[in-house]
Amino acid sequence: MQTPGIHWGISPIGWRNDDMPEIGAENTLAHVLSDMALARFEGTEMGGFFPKASILRKELELRGLKIAGQWFNSYLIRDGITPVLAAFREQCRNLQAVGADVVVVSEQTYSIQGTAQNIFTGKPSFTDDEWAKLCAGLNQLGSQARDYGLKLVYHHHMGTGIQTLDEVDRLMAATDPELVQLLYDSGHIYVSDGDDLSLLRKYVHRIGHVHFKDVRQQILEACRLDGRSFLQAFLAGMFTVPGDGALDFSKAYEILTQAHYQGWIIVEAEQDPRVAHPLEYALKARRYIDEVLIADHPAL
């Protein structure tokens, strides 16, 4: 029996990747959404290739799918609040039009996640003044999101200024919990800190959105040794779907359900679709969810 209030989705990133648009470009919207429905997921997040709301709503309705949210590149430190807020409002309008729940924000000033730099060393950091500017801006964005019926959830991410648990601590302390919630991404915090559960336990009552991403330990260690970039690491297969890597998601799911988490859990695994067949991995994740997570953790 599925836990009431938890919705299972899967990210389009296994089929097509916004950071590398050439990867999986042959997978059309109809193909991607139909695979998701076939694997019995309830919804997805918006990909960069998704069409305008009037077209997308029909495609979703035909397959019984919903939109959970969408990533937003924030440059509050670099550009200030005015231009960021204008772009943010436009994205919130689009998300409201498709009935989404969250807007996923990541501060991209100084980010190395899309560069050729070693993702395991030399991550950016922010000055005290930059932290103050960022957190004040996030509160403003969160207030704006609320006006559109959305929750702002902040995505800690490899290669950015908010990657580690210590950095998440500072973010949480300096932002309004009514306006800024946290996106928990198992894969990113594990690759960053070698621990996927401490962050979850600490902030479970402030988490507004979840990404379940697994990690292949041997490939992670090889990528770290080779000094690979983020793009190189995911193309090498560092990430995979839950149940196919090193992480024990039954513990994470138990923490969430015991805290009465309500919202989306999105299966997300940046992989090369030419190597990792997207539907095969979607079905693998679905079996793991049904046979391990839900079966072993009945509704509380």
pLDDT tens-digit series, residues 24-63: 999 999 999 999 999 999 999 999 999 999 999 999 999 9
User: How is residue 136 written in tokens?
Assistant: 């004040």
Q: Strand, coil or helix: what is 228?
A: coil
Distance between CA atoms of residues 187 and 27, nearest Å: 25
Helix (H, G, I), strand (E, B) or coil at 224: helix
Q: Which amino acid is it at 232?
A: Q
Find out whether 267 and 242 touch, Cβ atoms under 8 Å: yes
C-alpha span between 139 and 227 (Å, rounded): 35
Express each pLDDT in 200-215 by its tens digit: 999 999 999 999 999 9
Per the confidence metrics, is the pTM higher than 0.85?
yes
Q: 201: part of which helix (H) or strand (E)?
A: helix 198-203
Cβ–Cβ under 8 Å, residues 281 and 269: yes
Would you call 43 helix, strand, or coil by DSSP? Answer: strand
The stretches of 45-185 forming alpha helices (DSSP H) are 53-63, 76-79, 81-97, 128-147, 165-174
What is the predicted pLDDT for the residue at 71? 97
DSSP code at position 207: E
Question: Rounded to whole angstroms, how far apart are CA atoms 266 and 8?
Answer: 6
